[in-house]
Structure 1
């Protein structure tokens, strides 16, 4: 290729191969050509106008089960030419490497290459069953947790050092797990059954608190909320299937009182 172009594209050594300035420009131009080709193909097939094809979505497990599946069900009714693949993990999925199109991200975004839409905020909530608190008492201060049976949800609080904020001052309490769960839903069920006190995301326990299965404590010591975003890779070339799902999700999630309490 270098011979046909008449320029040097790579600097080579026995240990490394790096692009030259000409190589960098050539790579950028080729990427643009490929994007334009994909755009032309998509326009010809109608996928930028009408939702069609397979849409892949990833989200944290409980968030996906509670909030994304109902949206997916509604979406499939609205757009019968689209099929959906959901991938729910309690880890950050790399959209490009794992072939995914849309992700729900909870927490501050690290990847600036993604297009993001803010849909709400959640906080870490300390809670237990009313029956447990009737038997063991209600903690009034984070330090009181050292005298309680602790249910660890390792995907939410992987550390035994729980952080709190009191009057603008950060506090850390080291807890000893009475029950250590590697799945949030297991910790949630254990708390409902009265096994102890747990710390989960507000969206995970909101319905159970509202219906009286769990009781929230230490509200005054909660840390700052974490943002929820819908993210995707495509920009101005966003296909209709992605754009329509994001539009529906933004409307539904922003209206959800367990994600945006002000709407409740």
Structure 2
């Protein structure tokens, strides 16, 4: 209907296509579809111009009225005040760096809402713990939950310039055995760092390391690496600022393993809640933007 109105107002199919940002063929198909439904010609076309038929004129008035009603309904839907509470969970550091700004902008846009943000480094039972939306960094198993993929994060191998000034940068994963490495394994100093070969086949490659320092908190491990204590392997978003500011340098980029997907997970019926639905609609594009950078 909007295509037909645009054609009449623009004076030609080609001008309407330019106005709508689509191809002339798309405009032609839309008019043909309307004429098939009407059972009559709406436009009498010649090689150079068209003339609206009597039937077309009646349809034009009806289409304009219907489009105005639809626009008014959509505007009223947007103007409805969103209210209610939303419980959101995310991993601690990802939540602080990426999710909290999204939550703050949502609250600014919807004064009638409240959000409880749980930053937890464990998988939360949405039903058992009363959570509406979860941000998960993982390949997800099949479940009854609904998931929307919003991006991905990578594993980065990095070290401080001061460390690299004392030690030649590793050229392949096997070189890591000769370096000081900082582990993130709470169970001990043994770690398995996975990579991919920089070949067309991209075969997996793993390196077993004995880390001189093992820390059970990624923030502390990154700080130690910044002080030149060794090579660390956090997730990409955890060291974005350090790499941008030159405090850490990314190593072995050609051997990077497959990225880890980021999902919004929620129960299917949770979209019946206006506040939850509004939060999901708000969060998806912002998180996609926040996880679209390198790594």
- After TM superposition, the score normalised by the length of structure 1 is 0.75
Matching residue of 2:149: 118
- How far apart in 2 are the matches of 1:54 and 1:123? 32
Which structure's relative contact order is higher, taking Cα pairs within 8 Å and 6+ residues apart?
1
Change (3 A) 1:50 1:210: same
1:72, CA displacement in angstroms?
A: 1.2
Matching residue of 1:245: 279
Tell whether the 8 Å contact from 1:107 to 1:228 is kept in structure 2 after alignment. yes
Q: Deviations over 1:102-134 (max 9, x none)?
A: 111111111421111111111111011111111
Q: Which runs of 5+ in 1 are unaligned?
A: 1-48
Tell whether the 8 Å contact from 1:163 to 1:172 is kept in structure 2 after alignment. yes
1:80 and 2:111 aligned? yes
1:215, CA displacement in angstroms?
A: 0.4
User: Could you say which structure has the higher strand fraction?
Assistant: 1
Change (3 A) 1:237 1:102: closer
Tell whether the 8 Å contact from 2:113 to 2:275 is kept in structure 1 after alignment. yes
2:233 match: secondary structure? strand
Aligned counterpart for 2:255 among listed residues 221, 225, 230: 221
Tell whether the 8 Å contact from 2:189 to 2:212 is kept in structure 1 after alignment. no
Change (3 A) 1:99 1:202: same
Tell whether the 8 Å contact from 1:129 to 1:215 is kept in structure 2 after alignment. yes
Aligned counterpart for 2:232 among listed residues 198, 202, 226: 198
Tell whether the 8 Å contact from 1:50 to 1:241 is kept in structure 2 after alignment. no
- How far apart in 2 are the matches of 1:83 and 1:137? 52
1:144 and 2:165 aligned? no
Matching residue of 2:50: none
1:246, CA displacement in angstroms?
A: 1.3
Tell whether the 8 Å contact from 2:87 to 2:133 is kept in structure 1 after alignment. yes
1:163 and 2:194 aligned? yes
- How far apart in 1 are the matches of 2:287 and 2:212? 34
1:234 and 2:268 aligned? yes
Q: Which runs of 5+ in 2 are unaligned?
A: 1-79
1:235, CA displacement in angstroms?
A: 3.5
Matching residue of 1:71: 102
Q: Deviations over 1:173-231 (max 9, x none)?
A: 11111221112212122212221111111111122212211100011111111111111
User: Could you say which structure has the higher helix fraction?
Assistant: 2
Tell whether the 8 Å contact from 2:155 to 2:257 is kept in structure 1 after alignment. yes
2:156 match: secondary structure? strand
Matching residue of 2:244: 210
1:238, CA displacement in angstroms?
A: 2.8
1:237, CA displacement in angstroms?
A: 4.4
Give me the CA root mean square deviation.
2.1
How many residues are treated as equivalent by the alignment?
Answer: 212
1:54, CA displacement in angstroms?
A: 2.2
Tell whether the 8 Å contact from 1:123 to 1:226 is kept in structure 2 after alignment. yes
Matching residue of 1:27: none
1:243 match: secondary structure? helix
1:98 and 2:121 aligned? no
- How far apart in 1 are the matches of 2:190 and 2:280? 34
